[in-house]
Amino acid sequence: MRAFSYQRASSIEEAAKAAVGTEGAKFIAGGTNLLDLMKLEIETPTHLIDVNGLGLDRVEPTPEGGLRIGALVRNTDLAADERIRRDYALLSRALLAGASAQLRNRATTAGNLLQRTRCPYFYDTNQPCNKRQPGSGCAALAGFSRQLAVVGVSDACIASHPSDMAVAMRVLDAAVETVRADGTRRSIPIAELHRLPGDTPHIEHVLERSELITAVVLPKPLGGKQIYRKVRDRASYAFALVSIGAVVQPDGTGRVAIGGIAPKPWREEAVDNELANGAKAAAAKLLANARPTEQNAFKLTLVERTLSAVLAEARG
C-alpha cells in the first residue's frame, strides 16, 4: 500500500471539489474492494475522499412510483428494506447471494456497481494485465479463465464483472444518478454505466473523473415472478460462475439478465421477447457472439440450463 492522504467530506460539493483539485484522488465508501486493491498496490490513490458522511443513505419513494436508493445505502439494509423485499424481490435476493454478511454490512449500493473484476491475474501484480497495466498483455487468455467472461470480451481482456446486485439492477432498468465536479447532475441508465473492454479494459465505466454517484433509481415495480439464481462451486461466499436475474410475468413474457459471463451485467432487450419460446432460443441469442476459452466454454451450456430451470420455476 502506498501512503495516501485522507479527508472526510461533509457535502457533495466538498467531495467534488476535493476530487477535482487532487490528482490521483478517489472516493471511498464501504472500502470492501478498494482497500484490498490498495494493499496489493493495484489501486494507488494518493488521496482518499471519504463520502460516508454525505447522508446518501436513505431509500425514498419517487414521484414515478419507484424508489430512489441513496448511494451509501448498505447492501444489508437494502436487502432487508420492506419495499425492496415486497416490490423488487429480485434485488433483495441478488444482494443476499453476494459476499458475506460482514461485507454486506459495509458495502454500499454505488460501490457495489463500481467494484472491480476478480480475475486472478488482475490481482497479481507480477503478471501482465491490460486492465491493471494497459498494454502489458492478458495472461488470462491462455491461462486460468474458468471464472471469466465469454461474451463482450476482447483480445485485450476477458475479465468478468463480479456483482450480483448489478444483475438485478439491470433487469429492473435502474438508473444511476450522479453529480459532476461542476455541480451538474445526470442520470445514466444502468445499461450504459459499464463499458466493454475493447482496447481499453482499464476504463470500466462512463463516469467522468470526480463524478460521484448519489443514488440509484428504480422505476416503478414490475410485478411478476422475480428470481435470482446464482450458480457457484460452493454454496456461499463465492462469485457466480453464472447467475440469472429474471422477472417473468404470468403471460410468459419477462426480462432476463445474466451475471458472471461478461464484463457487465449481460442483457439484451430483444431476448426478452424470446423468453416465451424457451431457454434454448433465448440463450442462443444472448450468447450469439460468445468467444469462450476452452476453460470457460461450459458456461454456454450452463447459461442455457440455468435459464431453463429459472423459467420452469417461474412457470411453476
Partner 1 sequence: MRFDKPATTNPIDQLKVVGQPIHRVDGPLKTTGRAVYAYEWHDPNNRYAYGYVVGSAIAKGRIKSIDVTAARRAPGVIAVVTSDGVGELKKGKYNTAKLFGGREIQHYHQAIAVVVAETFEEARAAAALVKVDYIEEKGAFDLAAAKDTAVKPEEGGSDSAAGDFDAAFETAPVKLDQVYTTPDQSHAMMEPHASIAAWNGEELTVWTSSQMIDWWRTDLATTLGIDKAKVHVMSPFVGGGFGAKLFLRADAVLAALAAREAKRPVKVALPRPFLMNNTTHRPATIQRIRIGAERDGRITAIAHESWSGDLPGGGPEVAVQQTRLLYAGENRMTAMRLATLDLPEGNAMRAPGEAPGMMALEIAIDEMAERLGHDPVEFRIVNDTQVDPENPERPFSHRNLVACLRTGAERFGWQDRSKQPGGRREGNWLVGMGVASAFRNNLLVPSGARVRLDREGIVTVETDMTDIGTGSYTIIAQTAAEMLGVPIDKVAVRLGDSRFPVSSGSGGQFGGNCSTAGVYAACIKLREAVAQRLGFNNAEGLVFARGEVRAGERSMSLAQAASDEVLVAEDRIEFGKLAETHQQSTFGAHFVEVGVDVATGETRIRRMLAVCAAGRILNPITARSQVIGAMTMGVGAALSEELVVDKERGFFVNHDLAAYEVPVHADVPHQEVAFLDETDPISSPMKAKGIAELGLCGVAAAAANAIYNATGIRVRDYPITLDKLIKGLPELS
- Chain residues binding partner 1 by CB under 8 A are 1-3, 39, 41, 118, 120-121, 123-124, 126-127, 139, 142-144, 146-147, 231-239, 241-242, 279, 298, 301-302, 305-306, 308-309, 312
Which residue's CB is nearer to partner 1, number 175 or number 242? 242
> To the nearest whole angstrom, how small is the minimum distance from the Cβ of residue 133 to partner 1?
13
Residues 93, 106: Cα–Cα separation, whole Å: 17
Three-state secondary-structure class, residue 187:
strand
Least distance between partner 1 and beta carbon 47 (Å):
16
The 3-class secondary structure across 38-68, one letter per residue, is HHCCCCCCCEEEECHHHCCCCEEECCCCCEE
Q: How far apart are the first and last CA of the chain?
A: 51
Least Å from the CB of residue 127 to partner 1: 7
Please name the residue ranges forming H helices in 49-195. 75-80, 82-87, 89-96, 101-106, 109-114, 165-171, 190-193
Q: How far is the CB of 243 from partner 1 (least distance, A)?
A: 11
Nearer to partner 1, 210 or 306 (CB): 306
Which string of b and e fits 96-113 if b means at least 16 CB within 10 Å?
bbbbeeeebeebbbbbbb
Residue number with CB closer to partner 1 (45 or 70): 45
**Closer CB to partner 1, 99 or 207, in the complex:** 99
Q: Residue 303: what are its φ and ψ, rounded to 5°?
A: -60, -45
Q: Amino acid identity of 25? A: A
Nearest CB to partner 1, comparing residues 154 and 306: 306
Q: To the nearest whole angstrom, how small is the minimum distance from the Cβ of residue 156 to partner 1?
A: 18
Cα–Cα distance measured from residue 264 to residue 278, given in angstroms and rounded to the nearest whole number: 24
- What separation in angstroms does the CA of 131 have from each of 162, 168, 199? 15, 25, 10
Smallest separation, CB 143 to partner 1 (Å) = 5
Nearest approach in angstroms of CB 261 to partner 1 is: 14
Residue 219 host element (H or E): none
Of 23 and 234, CB closest to partner 1: 234
Q: Which of 172, 160, 156, 288 has its CA nearest to residue 226? A: 172
Single out the residue of 50, 49, 67, 66 nearest to residue 58, CA to CA.
Answer: 67
Nearer to partner 1, 213 or 242 (CB): 242
The three cell numbers locating residue 309: 430451470
Q: How far is the CB of 135 from partner 1 (least distance, A)?
A: 18
Strands 185-189, 225-231: pairing kind: unpaired
Nearer to partner 1, 122 or 266 (CB): 122
